Amino acid sequence: MGAENLKAAPVDLMFQPHPARIVRVLPQMEGHRLFQLRFVDDDAMLLFSHGPGQFVEVGIPGVGEAPISLSSPPTRQGIVEICVREAGLVTSALFRMNKGDQVALRGPFGRGFSTDLFKGHDLLLVAGGLGLAPLRSLLWTILDNRSEYGKLVLMYGSRSPDDVLFKYELLSLMNRADMQYLLSVDKDDEGIWRQYVGVVTGLFEKVELDPGNTYCALCGPPIMYRFVIREILKKKISPKRIFVSLERMMKCGVGKCGHCAIGQYYCCTDGPVFNYDEIRDVKEAL
């Protein structure tokens, strides 16, 4: 049995976890935190380059690994940001960790949003709940190269005013003239919400979209897709211009363990971002 030592081996970020240090923990809403990570090994950090919509496997020795979307944009290298919801074993263990502690990272994995395709076009980003995590990466990729893209609309639906992720960061977008930012909350029991109350689909009344020139990027819970896609199609945008990020149980991230299979595709290698036209008829996809 040969245990290949990390230092001797060429940098393999796909099958070999690499130690990464938690640089900062930024609490978001209840049960959600933003972790800033940095590979301990500079070679690994240099080699790591991702696109928006890709994900990493975050590992904690003795506990396991979990696939988590990259929340930081590729335009800001040197740090890896992930926004995590406390859910089960791995994520809870991560929540017990603090600045300076180490995790074991693999990645980046999968196909993300194609910014090459999006360049020069109008963009509609629709996020539901934690779906904002990967779309934040896309959002800042666009904003950091604003002139390369056309009109930009971000729609974000949360459950309640207390459940808005990246609240303050997003607040700064409200005043930007070069984008439209629309927020909705499903319900507002305390009556404090000044914007739209209702499901995210209600926001479609407020936007004008050029069907021949707009690409749409969606990430949210499965139920959101059905309704949001219907609204987009009503605006006469072609299914080929819609991209959705899907979530599946994952174990390996490299297309081997089989858990994430959707029809003939593997969510971890063919996705997680899929063209809607390609998967709308695939069994179990949406």
Ligand X SMILES: Cc1cc2nc3c(=O)[nH]c(=O)nc-3n(C[C@H](O)[C@H](O)[C@H](O)COP(=O)(O)OP(=O)(O)OC[C@H]3O[C@@H](n4cnc5c(N)ncnc54)[C@H](O)[C@@H]3O)c2cc1C
Q: What are phi and psi of 72, to 5 degrees?
A: -90, 155
**Residue 3 exposure: Cα atoms within 13 Å on the Cβ side:** 2
Q: Does 262 bind ligand X (CB under 6 A)?
A: no
- Nearest-approach distance from CB 197 to other proteins, in angstroms: 25
Distance CA 197, CA 212 (A): 30
Q: Does 14 bind other proteins (CB under 8 A)?
A: yes
Q: Does 257 bind ligand X (CB under 6 A)?
A: no
- Nearest-approach distance from CB 16 to ligand FES, in angstroms: 16
Residue 245 pairs with which residues in a beta bridge? Answer: 219, 273
Q: Does 68 bind ligand X (CB under 6 A)?
A: yes
Out of 87, 171, 174, 192, which residue is the one contacting other proteins (CB under 8 A)? Answer: 87
Out of 254, 275, 278, 280, which residue is the one contacting other proteins (CB under 8 A)? Answer: 254
The total of other beta-carbon atoms located within 10 Å of residue 163's CB is 18
Out of 45, 90, 154, 224, which residue is the one contacting ligand X (CB under 6 A)? Answer: 90
- Nearest-approach distance from CB 185 to ligand X, in angstroms: 20
Return the closest-CA partner of residue 83 out of 160, 31, 18, 124. 31
Q: Does 261 bind ligand X (CB under 6 A)?
A: no
* Selected range binding other proteins among 84-92, 155-163, 178-186, 212-220, rule: CB under 8 A: 84-92
Q: Does 243 bind ligand X (CB under 6 A)?
A: no
Look up residue 128 and give its two tokens. 């539901």
Binding site for ligand FES (CB under 6 A): 250-253, 255-260, 266-268
- Nearest-approach distance from CB 16 to other proteins, in angstroms: 5
Q: Does 91 bind ligand X (CB under 6 A)?
A: yes
Out of 45, 83, 139, 262, which residue is the one contacting ligand X (CB under 6 A)? Answer: 83
Distance CA 183, CA 200 (A): 8
Distance CA 51, CA 184 (A): 27
Applying CB under 8 A, the site for other proteins has a residue count of 44
Q: Between residue 138 and residue 197, which ones bind ligand X under the rule CB under 6 A?
A: none
Q: 259-276 as b/e, with b when 16 or more CB fall inside 10 Å?
A: ebbbeebbbbbbbbbbbb
**CA end-to-end distance (rounded Å), the chain:** 43
Distance CA 242, CA 229 (A): 8
- Nearest-approach distance from CB 110 to ligand FES, in angstroms: 9
Query: Do residues 128 and 157 lie in contact, with contact meaning Cβ atoms separated by under 8 Å?
Result: yes
Asked whether the bond before 272 is cis by omega within 30 degrees of 0, the reply is yes
Asked whether the bond before 108 is cis by omega within 30 degrees of 0, the reply is yes
* Selected range binding other proteins among 2-10, 26-34, 136-144, 173-181, rule: CB under 8 A: 2-10
- Nearest-approach distance from CB 134 to ligand FES, in angstroms: 16
Q: Between residue 104 and residue 123, which ones bind other proteins under the rule CB under 8 A?
A: 104
The residue type found at 231 is E
Q: Does 263 bind other proteins (CB under 8 A)?
A: yes
Which residues would be at the binding site for ligand X (CB under 6 A)? 55, 64-69, 82-85, 87-91, 130, 133, 247-251, 272
